[in-house]
Amino acid sequence: MKTRDFIIALVIMAIFLAAVGCGPAATPTPTPTPAEHKGKVLVANRCIACHPLTIVESARYDQTGWENIVKRMVTNGAQLDTDQQALVVDYLALTYTKE
């Protein structure tokens, strides 16, 4: 009987150690606040070249909506490369989201 209890205790300890040994999940990178987002500078520098910032501030879209708007602006001449477009869309969707 003692041997059986000892083996059960060992199995339970092994399971516990295996679970603890996996370690905690990776800490996610925090989402930047709108005030510190890199896209904010791009919006301020590139979008207001053609229209007042109030137009951007009054618009409300979801992520897909902002992607479509930014693509259209690039087609119309906005100077944004692919990485910058992603930053702008991310910032706009975070800041001026559809409610």
pLDDT, tens digit only, all 99 positions of the chain: 577 766 766 667 667 655 556 556 656 666 667 677 899 999 989 988 888 989 988 999 999 999 999 999 999 999 999 999 999 999 999 999 887
Nearest to 35 by CA among 99, 93, 97, 91: 91
Nearest to 50 by CA among 84, 78, 30, 28: 78
Q: What is the DSSP letter of 11?
A: H
Amino acid 86: pLDDT: 96
In CATH, 34-95 is 1.10.760.10: yes
**Structure-token pair, residue 39:** 């896209």
Amino acid 42: pLDDT: 93
Distance CA 78, CA 99 (A): 26
CB-count exposure of residue 79 (10 Å: 0-12, 13-18, 19+): exposed
Distance CA 54, CA 43 (A): 12
Distance CA 34, CA 93 (A): 10
